[in-house]
Amino acid sequence: MTPPLTPPPVGAVGVIGAGAVGQSVAMLLAAGGWCESVRIVSRTGLSARALVTDLEDMCQVTASSVRAVHVTDAGQLASCEAVVVCPRGDFTNTTRTDIRMAGLNANAPVIADLARKLDQYQGLVVMVTNPVDVLTRLFAEVSGCPHVYGVGSNTDTARYRLALARLLDVPPQAVVGHVIGEHGDQAVVCASATRVGDLPVPVPLRHVRDELSDRPRRINAGLGRTRCGPAGAVIAALRAGLGLDDAVTELCVNHEGRWRGIPLRFTAGTPTVCLPRLDAAEARQLIAADAKLRDAYEPLARLYLPAHPRQKEKTAVPQTAVRIATATQAATVTSNSPVVTDWALRYFGPWWNATSTAPDTNAAVITDVNAGRVTEIAQRVADHPHEKTVYANSNMLFDQDDDGTVAASQPDEKLVYRAEPGGPLRIYGCEDIPVALATARLTREVVRGQLLADGWSILHASAVVRDGQTVLTLGDKGAGKTTTALLLARAGWQLLANDRVFIRREDDRLRVLPWPSAAAIGLGLVDALDWYETVRERLLGGEQLHPTQHQKVTGALHSGNCTPLWNESGKELKPQFFPDQLHSWLGLTLATEGHAARILFPEITPGTKPALLDEDRSVGAGDFFTAGTEDRYPDVFGLLPADLPSTQPLLELLGELPRNALTLGHDVKANTDFLAQVTGPTT
């Protein structure tokens, strides 16, 4: 079996601005494959949406797993691990000298506004917008972000090494030298410390300075604006700052109270200043560059910073909560991210009862987007003896203290968990959406445990309901459980579940509840049921399916390909629908409960006509999920009762229901007419 692909080491990276540099940065991120997603925001939104669409095409062609996502506001990037800032204000640059400084008045209010939206952001910020050294400082001091770097001096350094290498006829990688200070007319070429093969070399400074000025002009004359060089500098800064590469790169930082470009040596993401030795002339040039940048910044400080700055008080993040209930059981989720609670409402609402409620410190599940807690708990689990398992298709490490407290980590997802006996289950992550996914899964497990303790069992079946009467469809994987349920749902039944149901005996009847989950429907079936074009149009219009959907499926839908897709291990890759999309996209009506009235045992046989089979099939103990047969959600946190209810009373009543074994072909109308005839009256 082919081992699963290793997830990328970085979660989301935000890109603000979809102009020349923003486009190039986003393309390099998508092609690089080392982040999970690229979130793009632009001033009007039009260019960001267009760029996302273009990147989706590229990712499909190159088989990149990186997701391109359009967001509407820079504040939504707060959960990203890094943010690239490269917007441009509206102005026409007509100056011929000090070109980069000419954009100061137009770009400063844009950057100040973005800094406020990312107030106290704790991730990595890479500033591109010119004048980059001044605006890097403005962003850092307005936002309070601790990790803000400006690119510019690294691009200058690359150009310097190229120019000198060509003059000396040596490979550029043989040149060791730096350009520091301002990314502009007062850049300082560190000629005295430049080496080629560890040997000092004469540097024709006039020629070098002319080349540093002329090179961007040549690019602008042909392309309108520089893009690839600055984008490459951004990628190098990101990889160094995020700990992916140990490298030396020239970036603008606060060095001894002066914001200027200097070489930084990054080791595991931690920078150390490695300023080269300067001769007297270079030292004077650096002092002049510092003065120029300081003078340019002072009017901005008066305009955008308070006259008497004070340390910002930490304010509590507003919390939201959702109460999720079914039958007589309920659980409350409280989170510091509205994305998490909105997700829970969407995920559980169509099948269970999910309503917004007041935040509760005694909630069953408490979640936070908190990178610090992720690092803390993940390190604790790694440092102690621990066990390993696979939870929801992702590796999990976990250990249990003497008092019963369970701590767990999913490094690939950047998620951690902590569950104390009798206390809430706490979930921490670095991004909203992975936390929302984990919260939905584990809240369902909390309610599952309550239902099992109350006498419910889980049956591997799809289900549809009409007038309260439920048709259950059973069979192995690929037998046609989902196909049968969807055909009947299209014909007027209500869809209760497409894979699992909760079931309990109540007097002489069997009550059935749904198992809330995303619905996986194969591309071929989506096409056969005349849903393909509807789904494709919605995706092309900017809507999205469930994020667990494989990128290849998204690409197929965008390109108009409805041929079934398979992964390396032979599992079919299917579109993944949110529960509410079954109604809003596919036109199906959902049910919240029913009573079992008939059982079907289908099998799909291509080329045959639908017919009843002369087989006496019945439900067996193997059709129920137990701790031993649960393959996706092992009970790591002790949420399920130790003793499951006996299935024998259920089997007795299920054995009394009308049941049919049948074969279906690929003719949708013939299958639907046949199923309508078989199900007929259910009482």
Q: Is 510 domain-assigned?
A: yes
Strand ranges inside 28-166, DSSP E:
35-41, 67-70, 82-85, 124-127, 148-150
Last residue of a domain, one of 149, 172, 205: 149
Q: Are residues 177 and 289 in the same domain?
A: yes
Task: Report if residue 392 sits inside a domain.
Answer: yes
- Residue spans of beta strands (DSSP E) within 219-301: 247-255, 258-267, 270-273
In this predicted structure, the answer to whether residue 311 has a pLDDT above a threshold of 50 is no
Q: 372: which 2 tokens?
A: 């610090």
Range of the domain at 133: 10-149
Residue 504 — very low, low, confident or very high, per pLDDT cuts 50/70/90? Answer: very high
Q: Does residue 269 share a domain with residue 222?
A: yes
Kindly report the CATH number assigned to the domain that includes residue 121: 3.40.50.720
Is 102 in the same domain as 128?
yes
Is residue 422 one of the residues assigned to a domain? Answer: yes
Q: Are residues 143 and 157 in the same domain?
A: no
Query: What pLDDT is recorded for position 312?
Result: 41
Verify that 116 and 183 share a domain, yes or no.
Answer: no
In a domain? residue 352: yes
Please indicate, yes or no, whether residues 161 and 266 belong to a single structural domain of this protein: yes
CATH label of the domain that carries residue 502: 3.40.50
Question: Structural domain tally of the chain?
Answer: 4
Q: Is residue 384 part of a domain?
A: yes
Sequence-distant (6+) residues with CB within 8 A of 338 are: 320
Same domain, 377 and 478: no
- If asked whether residues 431 and 514 sit together in one domain, one would say no
- Flag whether 357 is in a domain: yes
**Rounded Cα distance, 118 and 151, in Å:** 19
Burial call 531-545: b when 16+ CB within 10 Å, e when fewer = bbeebbebbeeeeeb
* Residue recorded with tokens 């369970």: 406
Q: What is the CATH number of the domain that holds 280?
A: 3.90.110.10
409, 428, 453 — which closes off a domain? 453
Residue 631 pLDDT more than 80? no
Same domain, 449 and 462: no
- Residue 569 near residue 442 (C-beta atoms within 8 A): no
Cα separation, 570 vs 682, whole angstroms: 38
Residue 526: inside a domain: no
Residue 312 lies in a domain: no
**Residue 356: enclosing H or E segment and its boundaries?**
strand 353-357
pTM over 0.75: no
pLDDT digits (tens, 9 = 90+) for 57-85: 999 999 999 999 999 999 999 999 999 99
State the average pLDDT over residues 581-593.
Answer: 94
Q: What confidence score (pLDDT) does residue 5 get?
A: 58
Q: Mean pLDDT over all residues of the chain?
A: 90
Q: Averaged over 115-140, what is the pLDDT?
A: 94
With the CA atoms of 374, 378, 380 and 384 taken in that order, what torsion angle do they form, in degrees rounded to the nearest 10?
Answer: 170
- Inter-residue contact 469 to 682 (CB < 8 Å): yes
- Ranges of beta strands (E only) in 27-137 are 35-41, 67-70, 82-85, 124-127
CB environment 5-14: b (16+ within 10 A), e (fewer):
eebbbbbbbb
For the segment 404-440, what is each residue's pLDDT rounded down to a tens digit? Answer: 999 999 998 899 999 998 889 999 998 888 999 999 9
Instruction: Specify whether 220 is located in the same domain as 180.
Output: yes
Looking at the fold, whether 586 and 475 belong to one and the same domain comes out as: yes
**Are 408 and 297 members of one domain?**
no
Which residue intervals of 265-354 are DSSP H helices?
A: 280-304, 338-348
The domain boundary residue, chosen from 406, 427, 453: 453
